[in-house]
Amino acid sequence: ASNYSNIGSLAELEHKLAIQKEAEKSARQNILELERRIKDLGEIIKYAEQYRANRAYHIAYKKSKNPDSYFRKHETQLILYGGARRMLEQSGIKLKSLQIERLKLKYEELSNQKEELSATYKTYQKEVRNMTQQLEKIKNYMDYEYDAKDIQSKAKEDKMSL
């Protein structure tokens, strides 16, 4: 019991545990939101790179004297260009002001935030686990003491009834 003297009351520990669980839940939700944003940004970067890599084929196709022949030779690149362009436009990305490096920096920034938040989340998990164990130990100790008192009082009653 002396190990638990710095904890305070049982209600106080339960309150602290509830607060810690809420912080853990909030951190987990933030991690999930960051993961979603990272995934979306990763797709945008992929399409932006496809757009940039295959844009020259589209320009050459437009300038070509024999577009059918050019299309047959570079069909894959032109289809990739068109798909990437459509996906970027659907995402609301302006193609004229497309800056892949800026997108990559934002991706890296979000990844770093996720790492930091994951470390915080793991700390919260560990604290919740420790507090839960403390709470269980205290409750078990209290049940043991009550059981011991009940046994002693029953033994006294038995002695008196004899």
Residue 97 has a pLDDT of 85
Query: Please, is 155 exposed, middle or buried when counting C-beta atoms within 10 Å of its C-beta (0-12, 13-18, 19+)?
Result: exposed
Q: Locate 121 and state its tokens.
A: 């989340």
What is the spatial distance between Cα 133 and Cα 113, in angstroms, rounded to a whole number?
30
Residue 144 has a pLDDT of 61
What is the spatial distance between Cα 151 and Cα 159, in angstroms, rounded to a whole number?
12
**DSSP type of residue 98:** -
Q: Locate 162 and state its tokens.
A: 């004899």
Beta-carbon contacts of residue 43 (< 8 Å; ≥ 6 apart): 87
Residue 139 has a pLDDT of 79
Distances (CA, A) of 149 to 30, 110, 125, 146, 161: 48, 57, 36, 5, 18
Residue 143 has a pLDDT of 73
Instruction: With H, G, I as helix, E, B as strand and everything else as coil, classify residue 92.
Output: coil
Residue 82 has a pLDDT of 96
Count how many residues are written for the chain.
Answer: 162
What is the spatial distance between Cα 122 and Cα 70, in angstroms, rounded to a whole number?
56
Residues of the chain with pLDDT under 70: 1-8, 144-162
pTM to 2 decimal places: 0.72
Residue 151 has a pLDDT of 59
**DSSP type of residue 65:** S
Residue 136 has a pLDDT of 86
Extended strands (E) in the chain: none
